[in-house]
Amino acid sequence: MLLKKIKSIPKEIVLSFILGLHFLKFSPPSIRPAKKRPRRTKAEREKKEKEKKEKELAEKELAEKALAEKALAEIAKAEKERKEKEIKEKEIKERELADIVIAEKAKK
């Protein structure tokens, strides 16, 4: 009698019942509660913060150093350009003076 009742139950219901039991035993990750992360001790947290601050400080110093080097390079470049400009101006004045001297000699 019991066998007849069991055979009359649709397979879908039996499968869903079996799957339900399976999920009760081995729940999928979305249902399972997440494992708790181990709490960091105060010393570990402070150590990590200290390392982070040291790293930020080192990066800041590197950035300042690079900026200073860049500024020095720009200053040197400007000085070089200024000197070249002065030399060109002197050469132009010398040529003008030479032209004037030649013109005066030609008049005499």
- Over residues 63-89, the mean pLDDT reads 96
Global pTM reads 0.45
Query: What is the residue extent of each domain of the chain?
Result: 68-107
Q: What token pair was written down for 88?
A: 């060109």
**Does residue 29 surpass a pLDDT of 80?**
no
Write the pLDDT tens digit of every residue in 10-25.
666 666 666 565 555 5
Question: 26: which DSSP letter?
Answer: S
Q: Which alpha helices (H) appear in the chain, and where do they start and end?
A: 2-8, 11-25, 42-107
d(CA 12, CA 55) in angstroms, rounded, equals 61
Write the pLDDT tens digit of every residue in 33-48.
666 777 778 888 899 9
Residues contacting residue 40 through CB under 8 Å, at least 6 positions apart: 48
